[in-house]
Amino acid sequence: MINTNFEKLLLKYFNKTEHKCYKQDCNKIAIGSHAISRNISLASISVDGNMKYFKSKRSGKESKTLILDDIGMYEASKFQGFCLEHDGGFEFLGKNSYKYNVKQILMQCYRSICYSLFKIKPLADQFNNDSFDFVRELVMKPSVIETLLTEVVAESNDSIEVFTEKLGKDRTLIECLRGRLEELIDEEVLRFSYEYDKFYDLKQTLEQTLEILEETKTNEPLVKFESLSDPFGVGFFYKRIDMNIPVALLNQHLIDIRGNATFLFFTVIPYEDGTEIYWIFDNKYRHVFLNEWEKMLMNEIEIINRIESSMMHCEQWFIDPKVINRIPPERLKIITEDIYFIHERNPFKDYDLSIFDELRLNLLENLDEQKKLREKNKINSIATREPSHVRDKKLRESVLKSPSKIIERQIRQT
């Protein structure tokens, strides 16, 4: 059932048959294409043509839950980003599980960014819509107002009883609350448009870089490269491992680096005989990401750990149903609830439950006793969580704080 402007807006956008090609100066209509290749990647993690993914579903009047559902390999990662001609530029990626030069890697980086751009566009478009209807809907919920009220009461140093009494008599307090709500709405609108602008800049830079590579015919060989040096402006790391990690992932994470908001694009591409991992980011923060990247590449279990953390922080991924079927129902229930409470986790910290049990068990042998125990606990221990209403409250409080706050400050500085 669709009953909000927000849902109507998304449905209209994603069902729209005509989207313009993302390639600069191309005015042709985009066809449906895959951000991760169907034949050599999605097919390798499908059972009867299907994968599992998290789909958001309305539950009750003002909340949503994420539920596990099936998705066919024709639909997974599909987006209307490029016209027939420009989609042809990705042909190599659909036929080869190995990359041989920088250009081929950058083509996948470019495709991943365009996918994220496509997903965020309907929200950013609201910046040009003065009514901000859907953002009002997102913000003006009884639960948010209640949280806001608690915040304003705390600032006033009054007890809730005294405050409520004052509220009845003092119009300026009501105005103050109203002002805070308007501020929140503006912040949200600003955040969506800021994210879109950042993604768009990255897309443009990658496009220019690819054009330069094309002109100079630089086919910098990849042999011996694990993390590429970056001569271009966009930072990226690339790694191919021989182990098959059965998930196709196109995530992006908003990261707070010492009070600065920035994005990390995390792409994982599975193949029958291996897995590719891509990180794409603002090169200004290269040293920070390099540190995390090197920690991840220390061993295969750390790679699994980082991918699981990313999966629990952003749900733009599709997984082999066999992995999900192996997880006991009690743990799967917790995972399904946890994915909603993203404020509780960080993409660089390990998630305390296992998703890839089989891979994890196979890798345990090479670990020291302490690490072995830690990894085993992700499979065997019974996780405890706070009651939902407590987690809900904390989630709402975190929405009122970061990371939109950081973005807001950043926009003011520039």
Q: Which residues bind Zn ion (CB under 5 A)?
A: 21, 23, 26, 28, 83, 86
CB of 316 to Zn ion, least distance (A): 24
Q: What are phi and psi of 82, to 5 degrees?
A: -135, 150
Least distance from Zn ion to the Cβ atom of residue 27, Å: 8
Give the pair of three-digit tokens for residue 266. 């995390």
Q: Quick one: 86 or 345, whose CB is closer to Zn ion?
A: 86
Question: Strand 274-282's sheet: what is its strand order?
Answer: 63-72, 50-59, 317-319, 247-257, 260-271, 274-282, 234-241
CB of 115 to Zn ion, least distance (A): 16
4 DSSP 8-state letter: S
Find the shortest distance in angstroms from Cβ 85 to Zn ion. Answer: 5
The residue among 27 and 131 lying less far from Zn ion, judged by its C-beta, is 27
Nearer to Zn ion, 23 or 253 (CB): 23
Residue 22 vs 317, nearer CB to Zn ion: 22
Contacts of 7 (CB under 8 A, 6+ apart): 58
Would you tell me how many other CB atoms lie within 10 Å of the CB of residue 373?
12
Shortest spacing between CB 137 and Zn ion, in angstroms = 35
Smallest gap from Cβ 281 to Zn ion, in A, equals 26
Q: 224's torsion region: left (phi>0), alpha (psi -120 to 50) or beta?
A: left
In the structure, how many helices (H) and strands (E) does the chain have? Answer: 15, 9
Query: Alpha-carbon distance 410 to 402, whole Å?
Result: 12
Choose between 26 and 257: whose C-beta lies nearer to Zn ion: 26
Q: How far apart are CA 29 and CA 22, in angstroms?
A: 9
Q: Which is nearer to Zn ion, 86 or 286 (CB)?
A: 86
343 burial type by CB count under 10 A (0-12 exposed, 13-18 middle, 19+ buried): middle
Nearer to Zn ion, 90 or 237 (CB): 90
End-to-end CA distance of the chain: 42
* Euclidean distance between CA atoms 59 and 160, whole angstroms: 30
Per the rule left: phi > 0, alpha: psi between -120 and 50, beta: everything else, 387 is: beta
What kind and span of H or E run contains 257? strand 247-257
The stretches of 157-170 forming alpha helices (DSSP H) are: 160-169
Q: In angstroms, what is the minimal distance from the CB of 13 to Zn ion? A: 19
Residue with smaller CB distance to Zn ion, 32 or 274: 32
CB of 21 to Zn ion, least distance (A): 3
